[in-house]
Structure 1
């Protein structure tokens, strides 16, 4: 089955996005073991929505992703490992793949939010360059599979429009509207928001990396993580 013939399920999108993220943020642990992949999919930081995917569902999604060549399985050491094949299968440049991966992990975002959130994946020159790649993905021709993102209607009280990916099919605008908060009158400047966002992103990524390193260490030593017997 070809990737373009069907939309991804939410579980499949989360798996692909997680593999894309970990390939860049924890390369020493990549490709991922099943345990690391499940943990990455279900982590509470840098995810929107936060999911709780059971291992059986992850394995089922792995099989379906392998059928459409978005995931590659490798054997080595004591555990099977998994890596994504997104760029080759989808046929987009690295910058576009980075944006799609972040949209799969964190849901609809503005171009400014995407630039901040992808800083450790790829450093875009400015917001205008992010917008340019998003526009290119939205205007993608039908012979290449059609649009991969859509610019959402402006939310009440919001200054910027958000972008959403189409890898899971058309966007449910009512669900997106319910999930968007209206900015409050805190008095914070745009520079304040950017600085706080960068600090929060850094803390979330450091926490996720430490958790992954701890899991990797336990796997190397043949130990179980606390709470797992």
Structure 2
């Protein structure tokens, strides 16, 4: 069923996005790998093709309206109408409130929240026409509040409201919209957090794992598995939900 469908994953050059793109390719989707740098995205796209899948790399700033319009059109022309969308693109600009610049706040909200809006708006036209679609947005446990992340927490909480609203609006057209909210996951982004804190990454991972009921931190593949479910045909009666992939319960 999925072999005739195209998935678009943003922020897919590395980390959770790359793992998700690879997983969706294994699930049988043609996968468009979108990242700020098309050259970086090509690494993931090439891995998909080497494994026997169909993939194209696309470079675009998800917060740029014209760039998003052009990128989604390119995907449709190259791989076919994108009916599965994973909004994963994001950045970190952590700091305590009194040290956080307005630019750092705006940049994070712009990429995470405005980016998800722009790409979703562009893709929904193809989904509505097909009368079928899946949107999976990446939120975070930080949406519940996290010290030093007023910008990121606000953006990720906004993603949850955005998800529920799109589920209501797009449901009549056969489109489900859900969110995955990871806890601490080993990626280049979290490694950068350790560098900023001046803490060895292994030490940070060990510390985070102690606070998780299953006593380990997440891997990108853990998140990709949750996205895979939401993107599946079988998940057609699940919409407007937020799934915490965090090794334990979250309030």
TM-score by length of 1: 0.31
Q: Which has the larger radius of gyration?
A: 1
TM-score by length of 2: 0.29
Identify the structure with the greater strand proportion.
Answer: 2
Higher relative CO (CA 8 A, sep ≥ 6), structure 1 or 2? 1
